Chains A and B, each alone.
Chain A
Amino acid sequence: MVVGGNRFGDRVFGLCNGLFLSLLCAVMLYPLWYVLVASVSDGNRLMAHTGALLLPLGFSGAAYRMVFNNPMVLRGFLNSVYLVIVGTVVNLILTSFAAYVLSRKHLYWGKLIMVLAVVSMLFERGLVPFYLQVKALGLFNTYWSVILAFAISTYNMIIMRTYFLGIPDSLEESAKIDGANEFVILFRILLPVAKPVVATMVLFYGVARWNGYFYPMIFIQDRVKFPISLILREILVDGSTDTMMGGQGAMGDYARISESIKYATTIVATVPILALYPFLQKYFVQGAMIGSIKG
């Protein structure tokens, strides 16, 4: 749209559009800014404050000290790191297995496996029977419940399969002549070639694992095993910071900074994802593209 750029109406439009989009971006970011600012604000002033918060009210690292010294938050954080790493590795292995199997053109049982996968997307399994099955498998109250029960997202698997189908067969043929078996082909040839889609998968799965709260809430009972999302839910949604306090400090102290503790915990739980954001942005975009077109 380069033509007629000097007309008055166009310039007014451009200006309004720019203003509107800037405002929109501000609205998108403001909640995060608010959290950041509130987390370093002085507790007393934060409690007394109403209205928009643009700059920190005073400055205090007390909330962060409290959060970092809190065994539950630290533990939740480490639990989440574990869940993300092990979970995403399992996701990648199983998803690439499935995508590879389903990208074979002349597989006798291939069609059947595809039907198995597609029907699982169309018909819901039912929350209660799913819950009972996870229990029956003895996975209840272990991380394996969420890791294994969500080992493959069929959407992601189909994205990966589509990508595999686009890789020329000749690549594989030559490896086969050299005597490579299919495991070698998948891990040494296809996955390296499919790097963009693998990166997309790592992101989709990783972010979902880090952020997910619902199934951990159902399946994991021991508080020491809670991932950070569940700790965050207690603090942020249920509004109880008392689990946090674990008997440290005087009551007054505690009430004073409990507001900023909410926000400090939110920052701690959100930073890992936002820190990766600039680096992984191009993959996000790619992923969203493949994802939204395919389903």
Chain B
Amino acid sequence: MLWKDFLQNRYVYLMAVPVVAFYVLFYYVPMYGLVISFKRYTPALGILGSPWVGLKYFSDFFQSYYCMRLIRNTILISVYGLVFGFPAPILLALLINEVRNRHFKRLSQSLTYVPHFISLVVVCGLLLEFSQIRGLFNDIVTWFGGRRVPFFQDPGYFRAFYIGSDIWQEMGWGSIVYLASLSAIDPQLYEAASIDGAGRWKRLTRITLPSLLPTIVVLLILRLGSMMTVGSEKVILLYNSSIYETADVISTFVYRKGLLEFGWSYATAVGLFNSAINLCLVVGANALSRRINDTSLW
């Protein structure tokens, strides 16, 4: 039975070889490598040869001053991102959907998602440039009678700029899926509602929003699954040591400690702690999604 399957599908299995090799070499061997968070790893001794230290690095981390700061920063960026960033594409889709001129509709759609394709390096570089003391943002501040502030030297502004630029970059792209759901709504519903005397607001709350709800719920749940994840790539481009207070998140800490300061085991322990939480969140979010929506990630 097994042998027959193998013979019959030998070319399929041949294709599977590099695929399995990829996952094993670049995912599962590194996952095994997570054991160094329980060892005092040194390159000379290797993963196997390094001595076990138990939970030392975990307790080091939990007792350190950084622990709470990193968790707080990571969660706050996620929460603000959820509160401000999540509704933005929905609102944009609703507004674009109200446009009657087809050309303008397409144009505004295409233009709003241009930023999605611009490299993070460029986006962050410009953001830093505009935020300088003599930069554009400060010029705008002075028009309104404010005083110039070096935004990226002051921990108080980091989150706002991080979330704001995220919205700028991803709002248009995120609206595509909502626009697709909106275009699937039967126009007869709107006509019938109008005949019955429903105004714009009624049509929005009684027809449009209920039709969007399933999409919103799926995307919201996915988002909840990543509440403890803030990628290091963007933060690394934007932060500097004077704003670590609000800008340093778990992933950037792991990068700094692990790859720049050679605290391999310590950084791995911090990363593992984070991955464990993420796993719980994703599994939980998926269970929730299965319950509410009958859709599952896997």
A-to-B contact residues, CB < 8 Å: 1-5, 9-10, 13-14, 17-18, 20-22, 24-25, 27-29, 31-32, 34-35, 50-52, 94, 97-98, 100-101, 104, 106-109, 113, 116-118, 120, 122-134, 137, 148-149, 151-152, 181-183, 186, 207, 210-211, 213-214, 218, 229, 232-233, 235-237, 262, 266, 269-270, 273-274, 277, 281, 284-285, 288-289, 292-293, 295
- Asked if B27 is at the interface (CB within 8 A of a chain A CB), the reply is yes
Q: Considering the complex, give the chain B residue whose CB is closest to the CB of A117.
A: B23
Interface string of B9-53 (1 = CB under 8 A from A): 101110110111011111111111110110000010001000000
- A233 touching B9, Cβ below 8 Å: no
With a cutoff of 8 Å between Cβ atoms, the chain A residues found around residue B101 in the complex are 18
B128 in complex: contacting residue of A118, A182, A237, CB < 8 Å? A237
In the complex, identify which listed stretch (B58-66, B153-161, B264-272) lies at the interface while the others stay far away. B264-272
How many angstroms from the CA of A91 to the CA of B262 in the assembled complex? 31
Which residues from chain A contact B224 at a C-beta distance below 8 Å? none
The reply to whether A152 and B19 contact each other, CB–CB distance below 8 Å, is: yes
Q: Could you say which of B34, B122, B176, B274 contacts A129, with CB atoms under 8 Å apart? A: B34
In the complex the two chains form, what is the Cα distance from A293 to B130 in whole Å? Answer: 35
- B219 CB–A CB distance under 8 Å: yes
* A–B complex contacts, Cβ < 8 Å, 5 sampled: A13-B98, A28-B112, A108-B6, A232-B125, A284-B117
Contact: B99 with A126, CB < 8 Å?
no
Contacts of A236 in B (CB 8 A): 121-122, 124-126, 128-129
Given contacts A137-B25, A148-B26, A213-B233, whether A292 and B267 have CB atoms under 8 Å apart is: no
Residue A131 contacts which of B121, B259, B275 (CB distance < 8 angstroms)? B259
Cβ contacts under 8 Å, A289 to chain B: 176-177, 180
Picked from A17, A117, A128, the residue with its CB within 8 Å of the CB of B267 is: A128
Q: Which residues of B contact A (CB under 8 A)?
A: 2, 5-6, 9, 11-13, 15-16, 18-20, 22-34, 36-37, 43, 47, 92, 95-96, 98-101, 104, 107-108, 110-115, 117-126, 128-130, 134, 136, 139, 168, 172-174, 176-177, 180, 187, 190-191, 194-195, 200, 203, 218-219, 222, 232-233, 236-237, 251, 254-255, 258-259, 264, 267-268, 271-272, 274-275, 278-279, 282-283, 297-298
| Interface contact A211-B108, CB-CB below 8 Å | no
Q: How far is the CA of A229 from the CA of B12 in the complex (A)?
A: 37
Complex Cα–Cα for A31 and B165 (A):
12
Across-interface contacts of A151 in B (CB, < 8 A): 22, 26
**B177 lies within 8 A of A213 (CB):** no
> Do A120 and B27 touch (CB < 8 A)?
yes
Q: Is the interface of A mostly helix, strand, loop or mixed?
A: helix
What 10 additional pairs, Cβ within 8 angstroms, besides A18-B104, A100-B12, A152-B19? A13-B98, A18-B99, A21-B99, A25-B108, A28-B115, A97-B18, A116-B27, A124-B274, A127-B258, A236-B129
Chain A residues, CB < 8 A from B271: 124, 126-128
CA distance A22 to B16 in the complex (A): 50
Q: What B residues does A152 contact at CB under 8 A?
A: 19, 22-23
Do A35 and B29 have beta carbons less than 8 Å apart? no
Bound: A31/B272 CA distance, A = 38
A126 touches B268 (CB 8 A): yes
Question: How far apart are the CA atoms of A233 and B123 in the complex, in Å?
Answer: 11
Q: Which of B92, B108, B200, B237 contacts A233 (CB 8 A)?
A: B237
B105's nearest neighbour on chain A, judged by CB, is: A21
Given A126-B268, A128-B268: A28 and B111 interface contact (C-beta under 8 Å): yes
CA distance A2 to B203 in the complex (A): 13
Given contacts A126-B33, A182-B15, contact A213 B139 (CB under 8 A): no
